[in-house]
Structures are given as structure tokens and as C-alpha cells.
Amino acid sequence: MQKKTDQWSSKLGFILSSAGAAIGLGAIWKFPYMTGMNGGGAFFLLFIGFTIIIGLPLLIAEFIIGRGAQKEAVSAYKALAPKSSWPIVGQLGVFGAFVLMSFYSVVGGWVLIYSAMSIPGLIIKDSANYEQLFATITGNPGITILGHALFMIINIVVISFGIKNGIEKASKLLMPLLFVFFIILVIRSVTFDGAMEGLAFFLQPDFSKVTGESVLYALGQSFFSLAVGISVMVTYSSYLKKDVSLPMSAGSVSIMNIFVSLLAGLAIFPIVFSFGLEPAEGPGLLFMVLPEAFAQMPFGELFLSLFLLLFLFAVLTSSFSMLEIITSAFTVKKDRSRTKIAWIAGIIVFIAGIPAALSSSSLANFKLFGLTVFDASDFLVSNIILPVGCLLIAIFIGFRMDKTLVKQEFSNGHSLSNGTYQLWFQLIRWLVPITIIIVFLGSLGII
């Protein structure tokens, strides 16, 4: 395969950037409220199980496809399965990234607005009713669209600089800082009165609360939080050198993702129960809980500002991957300017995301299948596109891609045994697709 001219400068840069793609809204924003709405500890265990036996094998599979082809998502399938219909998997990934980015950037805009407000202390000083503050911000069309626009502009600028000078540099700086401040928040949150009740809710599984829908959501969360199913990791791994171990890299990303999800639960649920809040608050949980915690801390305004800024950076590293897969799909030809394509793609995503941005205000009463545009977009990506994409990727690796190339890419850069390869290959060929099909059909009420 033709070597790409743009590559990660180091294994660490690739892992941190891939972790950044995975660790964002999925782990820090969506995981806590999904856990709260689906019974707590039982959901967390399901999420860990799905991440290990389904998400990790799929992440390795996407890495193998990308580096094996040395091409972005759509071209990778064309190179590995020429004159076939398999490139539709990459096209589905680009479409999924487009839809995901359209509402993801809305939440990114909320984080951006909160970050800006926290710097002069407006959140803690001027509002004791954090639920009302969140409703006011998300219910204001002008504010939400402005946040959405600014968030997209930041993404466009970084993507314009490319892999090494844009995405990698940002990830190397911001991801370690996020871990440090997350741990500080956890240490503070578990010292609140009533914190143990929140820890019990999060860490003690109650399987009586598990439903078919919650199993589907746990599976979808494992896809969403690892950024698999939309071929983002196919594109990222296409920039990777051949001497890096794909299984080891995927394992590092998965462990970091589970760890951040654990930190998110440990940070948020003790606070939720300490202040008598409802764990099933929904998407606004993080924005109403964090100010409560920091308001009780010495130098709370400073810590809230720093954490929101770092959270913003984590959200950005995730969104970079989505805009990158869209941009790279249209910059295959060298005569196309990356900067120009990034701006065009970003503007189109911004326009497409306006209905989601207005879902809590002007379009609050507009429903698609009983859901707001924001929630419908989330459901489409998390519960349909991601599972279908993951299923097709598993089938492609298991039955279509050249087995010699698959094993070669799996084996490069490490000394794992042949048994390890065979275990992974059987998982990706049989268990992963069967599990996805069963859970998917169960969610539709077919079985």
C-alpha cells in the first residue's frame, strides 16, 4: 500500500489522539447520565463487559483496516476490497460522523459557553439555581447557535493544520491535564456528606433494573465512547507507522476510556446524592452537578474554570476526529486544499446542526418519532448507525479482508502469541457480530 505523507510523529501521539477521540462527551458527559437513567452499577458493568469483548476487538479491527490500507475510511475499503460494495461501510462512517458532529458540536457549544462564563465567576456567583441556568442557556437560540458556531470554528482551524501539527499537538498537551483535574474532582466529591450513597448507586449493581433497552444503551455507549463504528479509527490508524502494536495501542485506549468513565461516575454520583439531585436528570446532569461541587470548594471558581476548560479540550479532541474523517474523505486528491475542504465541511456541519441547537428552544415542540431533533440525531447515531457500522466492520475483517494482511497488521510491533490472535479473530468473526445482531433485534422488539 502507498505510504501516507502525513503521519503521527510518535506512538504516544497516536494513542493520546485516539484516546482523545474516544474520551470526550461519550465518557464524561453521556456516560454519567446514561448510567443514571439505566440503574447505575448494573449499567456500568454491562458497559465494561461490552467494551472488553465487543469494543476492544472492534477497535483493533478498525486499526487494522486503516493501517493495512494506509488510506482514509472510504478509500481504505476500496483498496482492500476493490470492485465491491464494501466502500459503503466507509461512506456510512462519514455520514455517521457528519450526523454525530452536527449535535455533538451543540453540546460542545454549551461547554464553550460555560467555560467562558466561569472565567469571571458568573456561574457560581450569579446563579445558585444551576438547573435554571442550564435551561436559560440551552433555551436561548442566539446563545446556543453562537456556541455551536464558535465550537465548529475551533475544530476547523485545528483540522486545517493537519495531523502532526494540529490534532497530535493538542492531544499531547490536553489529555494528561484532563486526568489530573478529574482525579482532583473525584477526591473532593467523595468527601461530601451522603457521598457513599452515590458510590453505592454507581458501584453496586442492581440487575433487577436491567432491561433490553438498557442493554442496548450499554452496547451503544461502548461504541460511542470508543468512537468505533463510524470508521474514525480507520482514518486515524491510516497515519500510523508499521512498527506500532495495534492490539497494545487499542488496549491502552480502551483502558483509558474505562478509567475516565469510572472517574466520571466517582466524581458525579456522590455529588448527585449529596445534594439530593436526581441521577436520571438526563443530558443536563453534568452542567447542573459540577457547579454544585465546585461551589463548595475553596477556590471553587478557579477550579470550575480550569475543569470546564479542560473538559472543553477533551470534547474538542473527540470532535477533531469526526471533522477529520469528513475532511480526509474529500482530500484524497492532492490538488484539494485541506484548509478549504475543512472550512466547507465545517460550515455544512454547522448548518446541519442548527435544528439540534434549537431543540431546547424554538424547535422544542418539533418531534421526529416522538423525539426532538437533538435526541433523534443521538438515537440515530448511537442506536442504529454505530451498531450497523460495527457489524459490517466485524464481517469485513472476519470474512472479506485478506487474512494474511489481517494477521500481519495484528502481529506487527509486539510478541503476542498466535493464540492471542486466534482468540481475537474468533471474537471478531463470531461473537461480536452475533452479539450485535441479538441486541439490535431485541431493541426493535423482533426477538
Q: Which domains does the chain have, with CATH numbers?
A: 11-443 (1.10.4160.10)
pLDDT for 435 beyond 80: yes
pLDDT for 51 beyond 50: yes
How would residue 161 be classed by pLDDT, with cut points 50, 70 and 90?
confident
What span, in angstroms and rounded, lies between the C-alpha atoms of 394 and 58? Answer: 7
Query: Which of the pair, 282 or 110, is modelled with greater confidence?
Result: 110
The tens digit of pLDDT for each residue in 294-348 reads 777 677 788 788 778 777 877 888 888 899 888 888 886 656 788 899 999 999 9
pLDDT at 192: 84
pTM score of the predicted model: 0.87
Look at 2-11, 197-206, 274-283, 378-387 and tell me which has the smallest mean pLDDT: 2-11
pLDDT at 1: 43
pLDDT for 3 beyond 50: no
pLDDT at 282: 62
CB under 8 Å to 169, separation ≥6 — which residues? Answer: none
Cβ atoms of residues 394 and 58 within 8 Å: yes
What span, in angstroms and rounded, lies between the C-alpha atoms of 356 and 103? Answer: 6
Highest-confidence range of 128-132, 229-233, 292-296, by mean pLDDT? 229-233
